[in-house]
Amino acid sequence: MRTKQLESIIEAILFTMGDSVEVSKIASAIEQDVPTTEKLIHNMMDKYQKEERGIRIIELDHAYQLCSKPEMYEYLIRIAKQPKKYVLTDVMLETLSIIAYRQPITKLEIEKIRGVKSDHAVNKLIEYNLVCELGRLDAPGRPLLFGTTEEFLRRFSVQSLDDLPGIEPEKLETFKEEAEDEAQIRLNI
């Protein structure tokens, strides 16, 4: 293999592993001996330095690790401080809409409507501060009740739950028919 190819492989290994990798393991992966591998890595270290790249390779007790240069930490911290954007999957949107329209609601009721477990979706919605625990139902087991938060209203540009869009009567009838057909199919199985 050419030197550039070997360096690319080493770079990919160090990037993917994240932690330090013993030089003997790298040598084995690229099918080279340890002295040749060390020479390749030191050449890469020199190139990174000359090219003023944001990354560097450091040596740690016969192992190597790819990391950011200390001069870049300030910029990394700026990124880390920025609020994280979250993605609402179809499952989470479905769960959120059930909670929004039926609150206060228990997880069991959500699962009955969806037909599947909803632990992950509910937990993520709580993490994203779109849903919160409203208390406990006065029933055996005292299950938690869930509802939407002010953040939900803010994110969806709704002043109150009363402003949530309603379902048109024609569509509601279609939904009922589909649900009845699905229930009948399940009963016949």
Kindly report the CATH number assigned to the domain that includes residue 148.
1.10.10.10
State the total domains in the chain. 2
Both 95 and 183 in one domain: the answer is: yes
Both 126 and 61 in one domain: the answer is: no
Domain endpoint, select from 79, 106, 130: 79
What residues have CB less than 8 Å from 181, skipping those under 6 apart?
A: none
pLDDT tens sequence across 89-143:
999 999 999 999 889 999 999 998 888 899 999 999 999 999 999 999 888 889 9
Kindly state the tokens that stand for 161.
């739950």
Q: Range of 152's domain? A: 90-188
- The answer to whether position 119 is within a domain reads yes
pLDDT tens sequence across 39-79:
999 999 999 989 888 989 888 888 999 998 888 888 888 88
**C-alpha–C-alpha distance, residues 184 and 77, integer Å:** 57
Tell me: pLDDT of 22 over 80. Answer: yes
52: left (phi over 0), alpha (psi -120 to 50) or beta: left
Both 10 and 73 in one domain: the answer is: yes
Taking the alpha carbons at both ends of the chain, their separation in whole angstroms is 60
Domain endpoint, select from 38, 54, 79: 79
